Amino acid sequence: NAGVTQTPKFRVLKTGQSMTLLCAQDMNHEYMYWYRQDPGMGLRLIHYSVGEGTTAKGEVPDGYNVSRLKKQNFLLGLESAAPSQTSVYFCASSGGSQPQHFGDGTRLSIL
Amino acid sequence: DAKTTQPPSMDCAEGRAANLPCNHSTISGNEYVYWYRQIHSQGPQYIIHGLKNNETNEMASLIITEDRKSSTLILPHATLRDTAVYYCIVRYRGQTGANNLFFGTGTRLTVIP
């Protein structure tokens, strides 16, 4: 079972560059989420989606954009990367009130 | 939104029960308590959740006090593979109805051989 798959697993960017993180789930879940985790801290919600074509802001949305064009995919974009966005990014999905299932993370470094 | 308070770290001897406490004194009536754990830098793994009653599954038991202001996660026979950071989370509903989770810093459980 694939579950939640994140692409890429690692990436190094220069300040000002842009990139897109891809999250794919094969569980037909309605809800999808993007979190970031900084060293020694818990996860913080960036954006989330309650269904195809919908997105909403979480706790720390600034500097990020998201899109949910297909139910199984949730994309996280950084238009102009900053060193403060160096973090580990986790994607999750859930069906209704069911527990969230997480991917293995994307480790992003911005120089 | 209800927040949670957990001890930053705990140790437990291998084979013994690990009891992880959590305070959530501002929890509202329709908010669930969720427990997740994170091993090394992997994605969080769901363990168990509950509303009022005690819950048990193949991984753990969840004991929620009658006033719902605190709970305890019990790993009945801790193994070395249970060494992880354990998060106690109160689920809340976002503006659009999603069941968002608020992660604190959790409890780092170390199982000692």
β-partners of residue A94 are A31
C-beta atoms of A99 and B97 within 8 A = no
Question: What is the pLDDT averaged over residues B79-83?
Answer: 96
**Chain A interface test: which of B46, B48, B57 (most A C-beta within 10 Å):** B46
What is the DSSP track for B34-53? EEEEE-TTSPPEEEEEESSS
C-beta atoms of A92 and B94 within 8 A = no
Q: What is the pLDDT of residue B93?
A: 56
Res. A98 pLDDT band, cuts 50 70 90 = confident
The rounded distance, in Å, linking the Cα atoms of B21 and A42 is: 17
Res. B2 pLDDT band, cuts 50 70 90 = low
Alpha-carbon gap: B98 to the closest alpha carbon of chain A (Å): 6
What is the DSSP track for chain A? ---EEEE-SEEEE-TT--EEEEEEESS--SEEEEEEE-TTS-EEEEEEESSTT--EE-SS-TT-EEE-SSTTEEEEEESS--GGG-EEEEEEEE-TTSPPEE---EEEEE-
- Whether the pLDDT of residue B69 is over 70: the answer is yes
Res. A1 pLDDT band, cuts 50 70 90 = low
Which residues does chain B have within 8 Å of residue A95's beta carbon, measured at their own beta carbons? none
- Whether the pLDDT of residue B95 is over 70: the answer is no
pLDDT tens digits for range B25-57: 988 887 889 999 999 878 999 999 998 889 999
pLDDT tens digits for range A53-83: 999 999 899 999 999 999 999 999 999 999 9
pLDDT tens digits for range A34-60: 999 998 888 999 999 999 999 999 989
